[in-house]
Amino acid sequence: MKIWILFFLFCKSVLNFKLKQNVSNIYIMNREPLKYISNKRNTSLLAHTNKNFRKLGRDRAQRRALLRALTTSLLRYGKIVTTEAKAKETRRKVDRIITYAKKHDNNRQYAYRLIANYVYDRELALNVVKQV
């Protein structure tokens, strides 16, 4: 914290910035706020805020194909060996599939179509709908 304060004091003296300290937050005034330093969690302007999924180092088509394959394998064999990030994303997809099957229990044909559109094996989709 001392380093940041010294850095901003240096900026104030050399570049003539006005500093305002307010409840452990430091703002750079007289400019658009490009930097915002805070001790609070998830309040930074520079943080990635709208990150709803992991990219897994792939583009969209490769990522979707990978997750479909992992989901199909997990539903078929009951377990898979993969990395932690891929496992967490696969868990989200499998949970969604099981939720579809439970929610549409009275309309199994609709649940089957939803699940069969995602997994690679149609018989596997039928088994998931029947077992749930």
**Extents of the domains making up the chain:** 2-37, 60-131
Which segments of the chain does DSSP mark as H helices, in order?
2-15, 60-77, 84-103, 108-116, 122-131
pLDDT digits (tens, 9 = 90+) for 1-49: 444 444 444 445 544 444 444 434 444 444 444 444 445 554 444 455 5
Confidence of residue 54 (pLDDT cuts 50, 70, 90): confident
Residue among 7, 76, 73, 2 nearest 35 (CA): 7
Asked if pLDDT for residue 71 goes beyond 80, the answer is yes
Q: What angle do helix axes 122-131 and 84-103 make, rounded to 10 degrees?
A: 60
pTM: 0.59
